A and B are shown apart, each in its own frame.
Chain A
Amino acid sequence: MSTGHDTLFRTLADPTRRAIFERLCREGEQTVAALTAQAGVSQPAVSKHLGLLKQAGLVRDRHEGRQTHYSAQLNALAPLIDWTSDMTRFWEGRFDQLENLLKRMDQ
């Protein structure tokens, strides 16, 4: 499991690579050309980053005609995400708001 973590961390530690991955997470499937237009680096560099993301299982590619489309593989992140702790933070925040509300209800 820690080897998996290491690979994920190493792969996402590069800011350009992480930006590409974040963009695929937020905006869905993209072509290399579309990614290059925003990445601020050359197309071969983007392709290299995508190759490493693919090796880490973070993206999947799909060929259509001459274009390759990339999409994020969110399940690759599962070992890093503890949603129960996120949910706990969510409820702690809501309880703060509840506390505020109860104070205001006094007035």
Chain B
Amino acid sequence: MRARIIVAALLTAAVAAAASTAATAASKASAAKSITVWLQTDAQADNWKPIVAAANAQFEAAHPGVTVNVQYQTWGAHLQKFDATLAGGTAPDVIEMGNTEMTKYMAAGAFQDISSSKSSLPNSDSWLQGLALSGRYGGKLYGVPYYAGSRVVTYRTDLFKKAGLKVPTTLAQFQAFGAKLAKGQPKGFSPVYIAGTDWYFAMSFVFDYGGGIATQVSGKWKSLLASPKSVAGLTAYKTFFNAVSKASKTTDESHPNPYDVYAQGQAGSIIGPAWFSCCVGKQYTGVTGQFVVPSHTKGQVIPGFLGGSDLAVPLGGDKALGVDWIAAYTSTQSEKALQAIGNIPNSTALTNASKINERAATRSWFVPTAKNWVNVENGNILRNMLAQILTGKLSVRQAAASAGDNIESILNG
């Protein structure tokens, strides 16, 4: 009897729980009193948060009674979480996507077509071309350019001065700084801290030497990694790394964060987004400067990875409110504020060549626009190749050839 009562009670509880979740789902659909926005944790930084808050205030003023619920996600885990919400029908109303992540999701139909709202979005006629392309698929618009980023050198002006060094104009010159900056420093000091498997930076060498990652030949993806030019670029990266960096040859650029290494006084300079200047430590704030990484050809900058983010409205999200929020967050005022903290704004009408990161973006490269590209990133194919090259486990040519085969099979799979 007891057991039956317990079972009955459990059943009742289960039914009640199911009913209550159904009720919340229904109420959400009928009257959207709040919208959910997923942004990356970058936007949680002290100087970035007010920009989000200002957009929210503007949106809420225009839509009385609607509140914005911003949830911050990490780059490493947000796609798995997004998949889960797509399966459960609880996707957010707006999501920030990395521009290399867009194609796979657009191809699968994860976003709502917002082509008809394009004209109502701020500066949509002058969006940065690279970013705008990452938000289009099959002639339709799914992603709104949010911001772009390039990589620059953040360096200790005091150390450069002491060693009698000026901003380098060629890669060879920069490489030669290694020995001069390391003089008198402890063994673990990196003149230029580069995480060994920072493939964004390593691929810049490949593109600087005229190589590439992969290209489409009559509908099939073909690897370019083992081409003589790419191998020359990878070899140059290895030489550069060995001359200037004491970082682990197998770690990525966020374990540890380069600016933490810098703030601990263990680096003379670091490579990364221009906003790295935020976190260089109190003692170095006054003696920190930035410059663009020079190319191996004099007078040019090294091609940088044009990273960036798009904002999209997932399937199941509230399209009208989602687009309105995106419009508020990508307004001219908002983009100018993003520019002020070191990002590249989403429109050529707002870019400013006097800004260092925008100068760095004058030569840029992008990943192959294949729907499976994100699987190459997540499979750490390029990172593993760099670890093999730097640790000497394989020769540059061998490592590049094996990674290239891998990439071809993923992209054509």
Specify whether A and B are partners.
no
